[in-house]
DNA sequence: GATGAATGAGCGTTCATTCAT
DNA sequence: AATGAATGAACGCTCATTCAT
């Protein structure tokens, strides 16, 4: 296993992308220079432009790479034969684990793209809303079969669900919520319980 | 009383702030110049710096002005003698009406401050989290008296509630959700129903 | 007459244009930096961009300013009641005096615009060819009245005439021809004699 | 003899030079990248630097190659036993045919070198003026034997002659003059007639 | 208060050149 | 010879901020 290549075949493009995640996450897209990314990656300034046409393209690449994975994950989850609540738990779990695994990347995606309505958010509107639509697609059949309230439109419910999760991520990003593994795990169940079961205690539940 | 001033006593500082809302909303804080604000306000470039020390101070002022009003509104709502669900409805109503009344301002506050974890969001962390805390303060007694599930921490529930609302605002900002008055009104009830009552249909509800 | 303003009301825009002439003339448009122009003008870097949108706009401005003057001069000369040869002498005189008066400006116009087929020359093709056309317009009636050979098209003749003059300017620019006042004056007569009378000696002329 | 090499023995250096002519001609020396030349030549970026020390050296090579040929042509023409007018016709013919045969090359030489007083023109001043001198060397004896006017210095006349021709080339380059074979042929005669015989009609000529 | 010319640091991007393979 | 990734200095342009009037 240690018999890898003498000289590790580093993919400089990948190195630059990974460095950009750290730099964008630390300083923010607008508050860092391309040279910061190059320095962090340990490559020459110009190499960044050898692989990317602009600073923006780096961010776009990071976003699209990760967002596509999430969209596929949602689709894959939808195809499973599970109750809605379990599907939503899986989605919440995927997103939260994504953050746990690479908080900087998720921070960049959320702060610089998803929530940046004036700049990159607008540019990737289609991709972003595709996530809401796929979640809504999970909810819709459940409304039909009576397991979800028919009075709440699926698109609306999807927004609430996703919004709650993103708010939790924001809480972790901002340091407002504790970031232990237990908390992450607990959050998965709580957010689903809050959204699906509601905050209010029910007579049956209290019984 | 109709004999107001010959020359309307315009508050140039106010004019600049209002212009900044429109410009920041339209172009984004980072994609506009101070001169754009001055032009929009119809004042000379330098006058902006007569009233504000920096471009950032304009944004900070806009945020703090409005956020304070919201904090006071939450507090005032909490002091009313109402069931928790009605209090949450009032808060959702206040925020949604704020957006309806001045969408640019709310867009700026949310996009440029509340969700900008790397820049202004970090700077105003205290103020921002105060909102969550005040909402949590509403939820906590309700958990104690049994009207809300005790298994979901109030802080957590507050985040979910606020996150759902902010996501709706984002949907309106992005043009993903319809922005008619009916929709705004409907959303107030739906978001509370979704969060308090939950998405899942209950036997009692279906009966 | 010395009682002008205490502080001379300098037109910084003009100062920058004049400095650009010297810098472009000395180093060439492509081999100088905008900071060189600013330094030469004794103004801050940014002021150049306060008055001009780009480095290119400075050159365009210089060219158009001067070229327009030349076009008007040609037109004015044409309107005089003079034999063709005298009109051509006046044009040669105007151009040569222009060079004598401000060699850097003419150098810039010729080297960077008029003869730069790939860049600015192409951009100002209309203006440049207008000069040829106006000269041709002077020649054409003279062909009709028999004072010029009818076998040589006016446009063609205009090109030869202008080309000969510009070549002389190039000779002065390059330092290939002497640049004394006497030489300039002599050149005016010689170029007209060469083009109108021809290089070949005629029996009559030798008689 | 039809059994040429299986693999044509392409001279990559030549391929690069020919590609450079096309690229410099199309985009201009300053507006193209070395990679454009490499791409046009179909060779690797680095190979350009294997054969040439710099981008400038490519242009210098192109200029010197061609200019030397022209100088030799002028010398050869001068050695013929012909009237001066016929010698000038041969020179005009050689230059015009050069343009007709390879317009890009002539365009590059004229636009980027001959008329670029600030950069390459200055560097090749000696070579360039050698052309004027050789033409002047043809004219001088003709002044002595009375076939050319003695009042016009040979150097001056040479400049006018060369200037007229170069102006015609410029007209073709700029698309101001038609570029049919007939026009090229006609131009040879016209330019000589204009310069040697003069534009003015003579009593003898009109008789 | 009000104006807008003036300042200059900063940054994104380009691209000629080098060099390891 | 041939490749193209890697380098980094250079430069055009932006724009927040200052300041003289």
CATH code of D34's domain: 1.10.10.60
C155 inside domain: yes
| Token representation of residue D55 | 């981008």
Residue C48 CB closer than 7 angstroms to strand E? Answer: no
Please give the residue of chain C at the shortest CA–CA distance from D148.
C200
Spacing of D4 CA from E21 C1' in Å: 33
Report CB contact under 8 Å: B206, A152. Answer: no
d(CA C49, CA C37): 11
Domain that residue C44 falls in: 11-53
Q: State phi, psi for A14 to the nearest 5 degrees.
A: -65, -40
3-state helix/strand/coil string of D152-193: CCHHHHHHHHHHHHHHHHHHHHHCCCCCCHHHHHHHHHHHHH
Q: Are C113 and C63 spatial neighbours (Cβ–Cβ below 8 Å)? A: yes
CA distance B4 to chain A (A): 40
With bands split at pLDDT 50, 70 and 90, how would you rate the model's confidence at A203? low
- Looking at residue D6, its pLDDT comes to 54
B123 touches chain A (CB under 8 A): no
- Domain identity same for A48 and A64: no
d(CA A30, CA A22): 14
A130 inside domain: yes
- Looking at residue B84, its pLDDT comes to 96
The length of chain C in residues reads 207
- Domain identity same for C159 and C113: yes
What are D113-149's pLDDT values in tens digits? 998 888 899 899 999 999 999 999 999 999 999 999 9
Q: Is pLDDT larger for residue A62 or for residue B4? A: A62
What are D69-95's pLDDT values in tens digits? 999 999 999 999 999 999 999 999 999
- Domain identity same for D74 and D40: no
- Domain identity same for A15 and A72: no
Cα separation of the two ends of chain C: 58
Can chain D be said to touch chain C, i.e. do they have 3 or more Cβ pairs within 8 angstroms?
yes
- Domain identity same for D82 and D180: yes
C123 touches chain D (CB under 8 A): no
Report CB contact under 8 Å: A195, B194. Answer: yes
Asked if pLDDT for residue C149 goes beyond 60, the answer is yes
- Domain identity same for A76 and A176: yes
- Domain identity same for C182 and C157: yes
With bands split at pLDDT 50, 70 and 90, how would you rate the model's confidence at D10? confident
D90 inside domain: yes
With bands split at pLDDT 50, 70 and 90, how would you rate the model's confidence at A204? low
- Looking at residue A19, its pLDDT comes to 97
Residue B36: nearest nucleotide (C-alpha to C1'): F15
Q: Which nucleotides of F are covered by protein (CB under 7 A)?
A: 1-21
d(CA D163, CA C85): 19
Spacing of D5 CA from E21 C1' in Å: 30
Which of D25, D163, D193 has the CB atom closest to C166's CB atom? Answer: D163
- Looking at residue C8, its pLDDT comes to 61
- Domain identity same for A160 and A133: yes
| Token representation of residue B3 | 């004999």
- Give the pTM: 0.91
B205 touches chain A (CB under 8 A): yes
Across the range C36-60, mean pLDDT stands at: 97
C49 inside domain: yes
Per-chain mean pLDDT for chain C: 92
H or E element, residue D143: helix D125-144
What are C14-44's pLDDT values in tens digits? 999 999 999 999 999 999 999 999 999 999 9
- Looking at residue D204, its pLDDT comes to 54
C-chain residues near D110 (CB < 8 A): 115, 117
3-state helix/strand/coil string of chain C: CCCCCCCCCCCHHHHHHHHHHHHHHHHCCCCCCHHHHHHHHCCCHHHHHHHCCCHHHHHHHHHHHHHHHHHHHHHHHHHCCCCHHHHHHHHHHHHHHHHHHCHHHHHHHHHHHHCCCCCHHHHCHHHHHHHHHHHHHHHHHHHHCCCECCCCCHHHHHHHHHHHHHHHHHHHHHCCCCCCHHHHHHHHHHHHHHHHHCCECCHHHHC
With bands split at pLDDT 50, 70 and 90, how would you rate the model's confidence at A195? very high
B95 inside domain: yes
Report CB contact under 8 Å: A151, B196. Answer: no
- Domain identity same for B127 and B185: yes
Report CB contact under 8 Å: C160, D174. Answer: no
Provide the CA D124 distance to its chain's centre, in angstroms.
14
d(CA D170, CA A205): 92
- Domain identity same for D17 and D39: yes
Spacing of D137 CA from E8 C1' in Å: 57
With bands split at pLDDT 50, 70 and 90, how would you rate the model's confidence at A119? confident
Asked if pLDDT for residue A57 goes beyond 90, the answer is yes
Which of C121, C161, C198 has the CB atom closest to D197's CB atom? Answer: C198
B6 inside domain: no
For an interface test with A, which of B21, B123, B199 has the most A Cβ atoms less than 10 Å from its Cβ? Answer: B199
Which of C30, C147, C162 has the CB atom closest to D200's CB atom? Answer: C147
- Domain identity same for A22 and A79: no
A123 touches chain B (CB under 8 A): no
What are D20-76's pLDDT values in tens digits? 999 999 999 999 999 999 999 999 999 999 999 999 999 999 999 999 999 999 999
Count of the separate structural domains present in chain D: 2
Helices vs. strands in chain D: H and E counts, helices first: 11, 0
What are A18-34's pLDDT values in tens digits? 999 999 999 999 999 99
Across the range A64-77, mean pLDDT stands at: 98
D-chain residues near C59 (CB < 8 A): none
Residue A51 CB closer than 7 angstroms to strand E? Answer: no
CATH number of the domain enclosing C82? 1.10.357.10
For an interface test with D, which of C109, C199, C203 has the most D Cβ atoms less than 10 Å from its Cβ? Answer: C199
- Domain identity same for B172 and B78: yes
Per-residue tens of pLDDT for chain B, all 207 residues: 455 555 667 899 999 999 999 999 999 999 999 999 999 999 999 999 999 999 999 999 999 999 999 999 999 999 999 999 999 999 999 999 999 999 999 999 999 999 888 889 989 999 999 999 999 999 999 999 999 999 999 999 999 999 999 999 999 998 999 999 999 999 999 999 999 999 998 765 443
Q: Helices in chain B by DSSP H: which ranges?
A: 12-27, 34-41, 45-51, 55-79, 84-101, 103-108, 120-123, 125-144, 154-174, 181-192, 203-206
Report CB contact under 8 Å: A200, B200. Answer: no
B-chain residues near A111 (CB < 8 A): 115-118, 121
B4 inside domain: no
Please give the residue of chain C at the shortest CA–CA distance from D166.
C163
B45 inside domain: yes
**Cβ contacts of residue B1 below 8 Å, gap of 6+?**
none
């Amino acid at each position: 296993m240690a018999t890898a290549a003498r000289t590790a075949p580093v993919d400089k493009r990948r190195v630059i992308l990974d460095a950009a995640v750290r730099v964008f996450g630390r300083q923010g897209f607008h508050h860092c220079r391309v040279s910061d990314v190059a320095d962090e990656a340990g490559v020459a300034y110009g190499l960044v432009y050898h692989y990317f046409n602009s600073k923006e393209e780096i961010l776009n690449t990071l976003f699209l790479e990760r967002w596509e994975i999430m969209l596929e994950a949602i689709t894959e989850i939808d195809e499973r034969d599970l109750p809605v609540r379990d599907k939503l738990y899986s989605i919440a779990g995927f997103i939260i684990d994504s953050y746990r695994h690479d908080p900087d990347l998720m921070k960049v995606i959320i702060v610089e793209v998803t929530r940046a309505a004036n700049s990159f958010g607008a540019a990737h509107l289609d991709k972003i809303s595709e996530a809401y639509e796929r979640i809504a697609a999970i909810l819709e059949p459940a409304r039909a079969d009576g397991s979800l309230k028919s009075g709440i439109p699926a698109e609306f419910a999807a927004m609430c669900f996703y919004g709650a999760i993103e708010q939790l991520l924001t809480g972790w990003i901002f340091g407002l919520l504790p970031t232990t593994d237990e908390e992450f795990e607990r959050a998965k169940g709580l957010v689903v319980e809050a959204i699906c079961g509601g905050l209010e205690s029910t007579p049956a539940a209290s019984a």
